[in-house]
């Protein structure tokens, strides 16, 4: 019998199932036993809202030439027509980008994170992230052994005073912060909004301290109220910002369409990196995405799910107010897909998870969103579960949390 461990690279040895994978597997095992589990886990789409009818219409109307294009290899940078549509879409959201030189298609925004890490990070490079931050961004960066430094996320997003102090500390150690990663709009996991004042200061700090910015915006299009501040990329005139987003939250996660906007020199290098990993994106989904833009379906989907998610958010908040222990705290998100719940410091949400799953409800423990784990938080998703499941699941979870406290 081969001892597999002898063959893994040092990087390969670090790969283990993430928390979402483990929770999903536990849910699948429960389902096999005929048991129901309500998932407040991943940022998944509302199932009835997926654009199945629109996709069927588009494929039924595709010409023979369209099918030849879909089924053949495409360029690594992505379909030209799709990049053109994305350029128009981004212009409507305060980002001007040349579709030929400054936009590339990726397999979801997760591939964009991987490409940025692959192209820009060497072992020991300093990367600054939020505390907390998107857990799979941490995974993408850690493949390349950077030094990850964390800055507090408060009610207005990344705390600028803390960021300035961290930059000074890094430079005082004789080091250089190369990359700042942040999710400024309805941040994952906290759903906070980085204020316009802070966005402008971050652009100034990038110039002052010579770092580049990766602006990850999967959720910013799902806004329940108020005007959106401009994207960081729209404020940056020095070409220090890269911007990524995805179809996964606004149209369909199964299509695996993401995009990366960056200065042309950066795009050229990342296209070459991508060619060694996936050669090109799937032609059928790129064609579908292009047509969904042209028909106006993308904007309609955004409007549709925004209203649905607003209603689900309200229901989850109302149910938590009457079922969660009074010692807990949570945010009131103005957009996005998540609620961020704080428990008393002695409560470890990772330890509670096993009992929760056994009782038919799952969530993501907060420790997974910190570079240095903090154990008394949890993230709850409201976009995917039905309204009935939201009520039932929160009632179950509330009962378990009261016992834990």
**pLDDT tens-digit map of 53-64:** 999 999 999 999
pLDDT at 95 over 90: yes
Full set of structural domains in the chain with CATH: 4-50+300-404 (3.90.1150.10), 73-296 (3.40.640.10)
Strands (DSSP E) contained in 132-279 are 147-154, 157-158, 177-182, 212-216, 241-246, 258-261
Which pTM was predicted?
Answer: 0.96
Structure token digits, residue 208: 């002052």
How many residues are given for the chain? 405
Q: What is the mean pLDDT of residues 189-198?
A: 98
Strand residues in 266-376 grouped as ranges (E)? 329-330, 338-342, 361-362, 364-365
Say which range, 17-31, 198-212, 346-360, has the weakest mean pLDDT. 17-31
pLDDT of residue 78: 98
Burial of residue 287 (number of CB atoms within 10 Å: 0-12, 13-18, 19+): buried
pLDDT digits (tens, 9 = 90+) for 206-262: 999 999 999 999 999 999 998 899 999 999 999 999 999 999 999 999 999 999 999
Average pLDDT across the chain, whole number: 96
DSSP state of 294: H
Q: What is the mean pLDDT of residues 358-382?
A: 95
Query: Residue 373: left (phi > 0), alpha (psi -120 to 50), or beta?
Result: beta
pLDDT higher than threshold 90 for residue 16: no
Share of the chain above pLDDT 90, in %: 91
- Residue 283 and residue 288: Cα distance in Å, rounded? 9
Q: Is the pLDDT of residue 298 over 90?
A: yes
Block residue for tokens 């389902």: 31
Look at residue 19 in the predicted model and tell me its pLDDT: 80
Task: Give the residue, 89 or 405, on which the prediction is more confident.
Answer: 89
**The pair of three-digit structure tokens given for residue 34, joined into one six-digit string:** 């005929």
Candidates 303, 291, 342; CA nearest to 222 is 303
State the pLDDT at residue 372: 87
pLDDT at 357 > cutoff 90: yes
Closest CA to 290 of 30, 5, 41, 62: 62
């Amino acid at each position: 019998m081969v001892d597999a461990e002898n063959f893994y690279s040092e990087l390969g040895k670090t790969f283990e199932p993430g928390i979402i994978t483990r929770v999903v597997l536990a849910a699948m095992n429960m389902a096999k036993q005929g048991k129901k589990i309500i998932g407040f886990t991943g940022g998944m789409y509302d199932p009835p809202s997926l654009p199945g009818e629109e996709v069927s219409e588009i494929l039924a109307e595709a010409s023979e030439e369209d099918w030849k294009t879909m089924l053949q290899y495409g360029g690594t940078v992505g379909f030209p027509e799709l990049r053109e549509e994305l350029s128009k879409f981004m212009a409507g959201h305060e980002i001007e980008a040349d579709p030929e030189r400054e936009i590339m298609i990726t397999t979801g925004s997760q591939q964009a994170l991987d490409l940025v890490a692959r192209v820009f990070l060497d072992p020991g490079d300093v990367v600054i992230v939020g505390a907390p931050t998107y857990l799979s961004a941490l995974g993408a960066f850690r493949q390349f052994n950077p030094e990850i430094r964390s800055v507090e996320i408060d009610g207005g997003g990344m705390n600028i005073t803390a960021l300035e102090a961290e930059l000074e500390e890094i430079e005082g150690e004789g080091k250089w912060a190369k990359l700042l990663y942040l999710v400024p709009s309805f941040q994952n996991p906290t759903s906070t909004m980085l204020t316009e004042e802070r966005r402008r200061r971050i652009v100034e700090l990038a110039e002052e301290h010579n770092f580049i910015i990766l602006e990850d915006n999967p959720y910013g299009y799902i806004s329940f109220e108020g005007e959106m501040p401009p994207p960081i990329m729209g404020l940056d005139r020095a070409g220090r910002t890269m911007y990524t987003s995805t179809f996964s939250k606004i149209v369909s996660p199964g299509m695996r369409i993401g995009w990366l906007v960056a200065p042309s020199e950066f795009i050229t290098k990342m296209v070459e990196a991508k060619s060694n990993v996936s050669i090109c994106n799937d032609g059928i989904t790129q064609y579908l995405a292009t047509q969904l833009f042209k028909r106006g379906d993308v904007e309609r989907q955004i409007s549709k799910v925004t209203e649905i998610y607003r209603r689900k958010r309200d229901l989850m908040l109302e149910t938590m107010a009457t079922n969660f222990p009074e010692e807990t705290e949570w945010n009131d998100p103005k957009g996005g897909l998540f609620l961020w719940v704080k428990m008393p410091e002695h409560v470890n949400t990772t330890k509670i998870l096993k009992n929760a799953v056994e009782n038919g409800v799952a969530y993501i423990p907060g420790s997974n969103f910190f570079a240095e784990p903090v154990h008394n938080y949890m993230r709850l998703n409201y976009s995917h579960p039905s309204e009935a499941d939201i009520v039932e699941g929160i009632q179950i979870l509330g009962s378990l949390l009261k016992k834990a406290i």
